[in-house]
Amino acid sequence: MADAATIAVYSAQLTALEGSIKALNNFSQGITADALPSVVYLQTQHDLLEYLFQQASNIILQLEGQGEGTNRRGPFMAMYCETKTDLLKWIRVRERAERRDASPRGQANALEQTLIAGPSRPDHLPRIELPRFNGSPTEWSAFRSRFEKRVSALTEDADKYAFLGKCFERYEPARNASEAFENSGMPFDQAWRKLEERFYKQRIAFEGYFFNFLRHRRGKEPNPRTILGLVDAVDTMLSATKQIAGQTSESDKVANGLLICLVKERLDEQTLMKLEERLDLQKLYSWKEFKEELEKMANQLTCKTAVENAHATRKANKAAAYSATKTSAGGSKPPIQQSRECAFCANSSHATHACKEFGALSIEARREETRKKNLCYNCLSKTHNVRNCTSNGRCRDCKGRHHTMLHENRGQGKERTTKVMQ
């Protein structure tokens, strides 16, 4: 024999779900091409429809198993199919419109429409992601605040349960508890209080914020993002722990001093040194005052980096412009860079022409080494030959196109030298 109380609970739940789907049906039928919501908004409504349909189908199966609800499946399925068809149709229409707007012509038209003053539409707002709960008691306070703001406009418990199920997708114990409360017919407000009692532990949450801050590692070098990230971590810890403890006033000087010391341990050495130069040795700082000094230093580092990047960019542009001007004016290639490593003894502390061992050789031996190592006859570089040499240097004895160390200095004329080189 069927349990009358259970049937009544299931019937009430199904009625609420049917009302929610009916509201979605009214929404889909009220859509027009002139006031078409965004794809994200339409897809969200479609996802909600699927979730409500799944919940309602399970309840209908329960009722049918107890010999009830057989006459409710047909109208329910008809309303679901009609709503789904409408939503999918408008999603496709909206996607085609957005692809058309993405073209250059469409972008210009969209810009013109944006510049025209007109009433704002809520469906143009960006999609707001639902908060997610991962099971940590430390995260419950923030999750509770965000979730309550998201569902404040909902009136039906079925809708609130549907959104809550999405928020608990990544944490199975909370999701199972929520579904159990919903299936039992418990009002949402009562279920919400029970979930908070089960998953929110005040002391663990309170201590968790301190442990999260203590896990911050010390910075390696001055970096505005690191400094501001440290400031944000402290502010988050203070605001959350004060909310848990029910404290609204500033903490005492001892607590401020302890907090400032913990922050100093996580600053890099250069930032800490500059910070100590700024602070008054005879003053006990509050966290608010200390934070202001850190923010000033972060802003200065940001400005310094921006100035250095701009200077480097100007310097690179100036060098590129000079090189391009010189090339176009003279029609010559940029000078070939010469290696500073000695081609004779492979010593990087001097060039070939300054090598004592090379200088101690006879003229013929130097010429032979130059040929063997494929060195430039004009500058003794190993990176190019004499035909590609851009050096303006010439032999100091005869002004020929060879190095002075390769000049035959006893009764040999310029013609002999040129012939040898060729």
Q: Which residues contact 65 (CB under 8 A, 6 or more apart)?
A: none
Q: Look at the chain and count its residues.
A: 422
CA distances from 28 to 78, 119, 155, 242 (A): 14, 22, 19, 46
DSSP 164-222: HHHHTTT-HHHHHHHHHHHHTT--HHHHHHHHHHHH--HHHHHHHHHHHHHTPPPPSS-
What is the identity of the amino acid at 282? Q
Two tokens, residue 199: 């998953």
Q: What is the pLDDT of residue 121?
A: 46
Q: How many CB atoms lie within 10 A of CB 83?
A: 24
Q: Give the pLDDT band of residue 102 (cuts 50, 70, 90).
A: low
CA distances from 108 to 101, 111, 117, 121 (A): 8, 5, 16, 20
Q: What is the pLDDT of residue 340?
A: 63
Query: What are residue 216's phi and psi, to 5 degrees?
Result: -65, 130
Q: How many helices (H) and strands (E) does the chain have?
A: 16, 0
Residue 216 contacts residue 237 (beta carbons within 8 Å) = no
Two tokens, residue 55: 């919940």
User: Above 50 in pLDDT, residue 99?
Assistant: yes
SS in 3 state form for 359-394?
HCCCHHHHHHHHHHCCCCCCCCCCCCCHHHCCCCCC
Q: What is the pLDDT of residue 107?
A: 45
User: Above 60 in pLDDT, residue 79?
Assistant: yes
pLDDT digits (tens, 9 = 90+) for 213-271: 777 778 888 888 888 888 888 887 777 777 776 665 555 766 777 788 888 888 888 88
Residue 185 contacts residue 209 (beta carbons within 8 Å) = no
pTM, 2 dp: 0.35
Residue 138 contacts residue 209 (beta carbons within 8 Å) = yes
pLDDT digits (tens, 9 = 90+) for 262-315: 888 888 888 888 888 888 877 778 888 888 888 888 888 888 888 888 888 888
Q: What mean pLDDT comes out for the span 116-134? A: 56
Residue 20 contacts residue 159 (beta carbons within 8 Å) = yes
Residues of 328-357 as b/e, b for ≥16 C-beta within 10 angstroms? eeeeeeeeeebeeebbbeebeeebbbebee
The helix/strand/coil state of 25 is helix
pLDDT digits (tens, 9 = 90+) for 314-348: 888 887 777 766 555 555 544 444 456 787 787 77
Q: Which residues contact 382 (CB under 8 A, 6 or more apart)?
A: 339, 343, 352, 373, 374, 375, 376
Q: What is the pLDDT of residue 418?
A: 40
CA distance 235 to 233: 6
